[in-house]
Amino acid sequence: MASIRPRPIKRLLVANRGEIAVRILSSARELDIETFALYTENDINHTFKAAHAIRLRSPASYMEIDELLDIVKQHNIDAVHPGYGFLSESPELARRMAKIDVIVVGPGSDNLERTGDKLRARLLAVECQVPVLPALTEPTGRVDAIQLFVEKVGLPVMVKAVDGGGGRGIRLIHTLEDLPSLVERAIAESPSRMVFAEKAAIDGFRHVEVQIMGDGQGKIMHLWERECSIQRRYQKIVELAPSTVIDRGVVKPVIEAAVRMARKIKYTSLGTFEFLLHPRTAQFFFLEINPRLQVEHTITEAICSVDIVKAQLRSAQGASFDEAGLAGLPEDPLSPPPMHSIQLRITAEDPEKTYSLSIGKIQSFRFPSGNGIRVDTALIHGVPAVVSSDFDSVIAKVIVTARTWQDVVSKARRALADTSIVGITTNIALLRAIVDHADFRTGMCDTQWLEAKHDELLEQSRTHSQLPDPFHGLVSPQQSNESNTAVSGASLMFRKDDAWSIALRPQSSATPNTRPHHLQLAKVIQNDFPTNFAADIMFTAPGSTPQAFRMDMQSTSTSASATSSQHRQGSRSDGSHVVLPISGKLVEVLVDVGDVVKKDDAICVVKQMKMEIEIRSHKAGLVTWLTEAEDDEDVAEGMLAAVVEDEKAQAKL
């Protein structure tokens, strides 16, 4: 059985986690569908929205079709929604579920095979007379094939994994010197180890995508377009709808191209057709198709006033567009939507350190509220939340909506000012800098904007990270959070006017004649003791008058960026230390104590968001110590991976 005729869904398994699982579960519950959630250890928050929760064997189980099949059979589930990521673009999942008469909510195996493969999607564009960039016509796993292509079309060139996603397996090549290493890294990030290349269109181009809905019979409708030009490492962090391209006549051919391609293959369910568009020349090129629900579907919902997840679920049960809640939407691309919306992705990453993943426990959080503000997250007040290297770094999505572009930008600035997360490093300060920038406020950001302005934005973000105390010193963030807005990691309560006498004396001294110092809290700024503590204090040394200080304390015995790290911390000032520059999951230690290594030899491999990164020795020498961390263990930035000594190596050589 290749496909299943639409029918009522009674029991739905959401084969995903985090905020998208919460999103799908919410719409399914409104349709009176019995819901099932999946979870793994330390990742349970999204299950609170489901009628049933099923534990998986491991985080990798989200990618195991056999395990999902067993769950579906055991619980008499008749439909699966894969969300995005994981198996959402897997034709095999759709085929194998169809064999046991289970619906997979989405385009179906035939559409997935035609659109999920980037080269096959490109051929569809050519067939539909949609402009494409010069590209390789077959996938390759060889560097020399890319070199030959560059000789024909010139630089810059974009190399992409045929089966990549989420920004993985993509490299922009500007110079021939960088080509071999960049191609090899793209190949390494491709599950099939196959890539293709196309001429890059970068100067002034915007990333514009069209939201499509199809009924499987050739009827197609668009839900306008989104603009997703602001990306880091080819992953979107700020999305907006509609595009800031003012001339709708420039956007119209892009929407028409998407509809034409979808109609050609009788597309079913939700899909996103992505393009590069130059607003001044009106030139555009097809990029790829995402045959699934998108992370940024929220802003389409905002400008259309439609629950498109609910529409997708209804469509899977045989509903017409009107019955699915899509009636009355304008079909003319020249007609702009009545609203503007922006989505801001809050991620557990450190922009100051090349967006390194920040692993750890979220101790407290505060999200915005008010008219035109929506927050999609799996975080729940009072329930511990841990960021690990097993899953994507998105913690929450803040969506703001208003009638004009100027109003929606102002709302975004206010919403981010009202957002905070304690316990891990996030990109919130960078997002504040982005929405505050003049280029963003005037809608002038192309696909290269974030990279070009990165240093400027980082500098500005340092200012944005030092916002005034929102509680005006009346209460600490900890106290406020206790009432209704946070999970706290603090184990002690501190208040204004708490005071201590502090006496320090050498252990060898037998006489306790040391005169004490005095410390008094003037204002508690942050209390996540013992991990973090900040306060304004009055400090009095013996025989002196009180002086005002700002005190900031951070735990170094256990890393604040790790769930729990008892491993030895490295010192970057020690030339013999090989220190982890990122957090992630330890894949493998590649050397042993006693090995002689050369400069740039790999010491270990750390996996971060599905990318494996080799940690290399910055010097030649003898390995005299290695971390005791085990394979597949979460490890924190700053952990000591190895000690490499010069002198002993020279003696051995």
Question: Residues 247, 248, 251, 252: what is their CA dihedral angle, to the nearest 10 degrees?
Answer: -140
Residues known to be catalytic: 292
Q: How far apart are CA 529 and CA 527, in angstroms?
A: 5
Q: Give the H or E element holding residue 220.
A: strand 220-232
Using the 8-state DSSP alphabet, how is residue 65 labeled? Answer: H
Please give, one letter per residue, the 3-state secondary structure of 433-476. HHHHCHHHHCCCCCCCHHHHCHHHHHHHHHHHCCCCCCCCCCCC
Q: What angle do CA 347, 351, 352 make, to 5 degrees?
A: 145
Give yes or no for a contact between 305 and 102, defined as CB atoms under 8 angstroms apart. no
Q: How far apart are CA 159 and CA 184, in angstroms?
A: 10
Q: Give the H or E element holding residue 249.
A: helix 248-264
Residue 290: closest CA among 68, 89, 21, 571: 89
Where would I find the beta strands (DSSP E) of 529-620? 532-540, 547-554, 577-579, 584-589, 596-597, 602-608, 611-616
Give yes or no for a contact between 379 and 43, defined as CB atoms under 8 angstroms apart. no
Question: Residues 286, 291, 296, 297: what is their CA dihedral angle, to the nearest 10 degrees?
Answer: 120
Give yes or no for a contact between 477 and 471, defined as CB atoms under 8 angstroms apart. yes
Give yes or no for a contact between 370 and 38, defined as CB atoms under 8 angstroms apart. no
Residue 395: closest CA among 371, 373, 418, 428: 428
Q: How far apart are CA 37 and CA 104, in angstroms?
A: 15
Provide long-range contacts, Cβ within 8 A and 24+ apart, for 281-284.
Answer: 281/204, 282/247, 282/249, 282/250, 282/253, 283/131, 283/201, 284/131, 284/208, 284/253, 284/254, 284/257
Q: How far apart are CA 236 and CA 99, in angstroms?
A: 36
* C-alpha distances in Å from residue 597, one per residue of 602, 604, 628: 9, 12, 19
Tell me whether the omega of the peptide bond preceding residue 530 falls within 30 degrees of 0, making it cis: yes
The residue type at 221: M
Tell me whether the omega of the peptide bond preceding residue 542 falls within 30 degrees of 0, making it cis: no
Q: Which residues make beta-bridge pairs with 577?
A: 643
Kindly report the length of the chain. Answer: 653
Using the 8-state DSSP alphabet, how is residue 516 labeled? Answer: P
